[in-house]
Amino acid sequence: MIKDFSLKEIVYSGEVFRWNEVSENNFIGICNHKVYRLREGEDIVDPFLISYFDLDTDYSKIKDELKKDPVLNKAINVCPGLRIVKQDLWETILSFIISQNNNIPRIKKLIESISKEYGEFLEDGYYDIPDPNTLAKLDVKDLMDLKFGYRAEYIIESAKRYIELGYDKEIDPKLKFINDARDNNMTLIEYLMTFKGIGPKVANCIALFSLHDIKAFPIDTWVKKVMNTLYGIEINDVKAMENYAKNNFKEYSGIAQQYLFYYIRDK
DNA sequence: AGCCAGGACAAGT
DNA sequence: ACTTGTCATGGC
């Protein structure tokens, strides 16, 4: 039993899309070009998964700090086992481009369909996420046929850019990405937003759920709702919400955001 | 029928 | 630098 860790809470938290509860407390997830089968509460020994689920980080101190905020105290008690995953960079870019103006069940459906159509077969009806080289060669119509709508162009353009910048050839694309952002004198968010189809919200999600920039603070409709109803900030005042997070949640803004996101959707 | 969903873009002030 | 209309799709 790992402390401060619940597979179920992570799977239902909207930060991953390729994990499913296939039967009570049994989960199947696709990542790292493999199919993983895990049970809630079981010990995690696989080195990749230990890193992926951020199990080397002690969340108890972070939670204690955030619990000083009464709203977060309630939220954390609803999802005490939530953690910030470290997902593959390209998968996260693709996933969160798809996520825009969309809902979680349909996001998952679209990711499954693009994987089945263009990803490598793994086993037993499970397919890997398609690599950027495959997607860069597609026509917009190919993805329109799969019902991606206006996101089709964003996916293909971002795949091309990902390749042009050479991330597909990197053993550690995240490290190069972070270095490139710094070399261009840009924040991670700013650099991510140079990709077509990546705006402020999606950039913050990629920074948080892949690059592990835990001060990132993605503001979607749910976070707007929570910041409005529970913190009294004007519903569309994104700037005020960013400032509130920066001043109050500080370097743990992303983690706070994830507790709040889970909490407001759970109600 | 209209609104909502882990929004972004382009054109217009 | 901020506001507005538009963009596909499907569930409710």
Q: Residues by CB within 7 Å of nucleic chain C, which ones?
A: A 101-103, 105-106, 144, 147-150, 239
Does any strand B atom come closer than 7 Å to the Cβ of A110?
no
The separation between CA A218 and the C-alpha centre of its own chain, rounded to angstroms, equals 10
Does any strand B atom come closer than 7 Å to the Cβ of A192?
no
The three-point CA angle A146-A149-A154 to 5° equals 100
Q: Angle of helix A253-266 relative to helix A200-209, nearest 10 degrees? A: 110
Q: Give Cα separations from A232 to A133, A155, A224, A235, A244 (angstroms).
A: 46, 36, 10, 8, 11
Residue ranges of chain A with per-residue pLDDT less than 70: none
Cβ distance A64 to A235 under 8 Å?
A: no
Does any strand B atom come closer than 7 Å to the Cβ of A198?
yes
Q: How far apart are CA A106 and CA A87, in angstroms?
A: 20
The nt closest to A239 (CA vs C1′) is C2
Helix (H) or strand (E) holding A161: helix A151-164
Q: How far apart are CA A65 and CA A69, in angstroms?
A: 8
- Find the farthest-apart pair of alpha carbons in chain A and give their distance in angstroms, rounded: 51
- pLDDT value of residue A1: 85
Show which positions of strand B are touched by protein (CB under 7 A).
4-10
- pLDDT value of residue A204: 98
- CA A192, C1' C2: Å apart? 22
Number of residues written out for chain A: 267
The nt closest to A193 (CA vs C1′) is B8
- pLDDT value of residue A267: 76
Does any strand B atom come closer than 7 Å to the Cβ of A31?
no
pTM for the model stands at 0.98
Does any strand B atom come closer than 7 Å to the Cβ of A149?
no
Does any strand B atom come closer than 7 Å to the Cβ of A13?
yes
Q: How far apart are CA A169 and CA A231, in angstroms?
A: 44
Q: Encoding tokens for residue A194?
A: 């140079």
The nt closest to A103 (CA vs C1′) is B5
The nt closest to A102 (CA vs C1′) is B5
Other Cβ atoms less than 10 A from the Cβ of A110: the count is: 23
Show which positions of strand C are touched by protein (CB under 7 A).
2, 7-11
- Judge residue A151's burial from the number of C-beta atoms within 10 Å of its C-beta, 0-12 exposed, 13-18 middle, 19 or more buried: buried
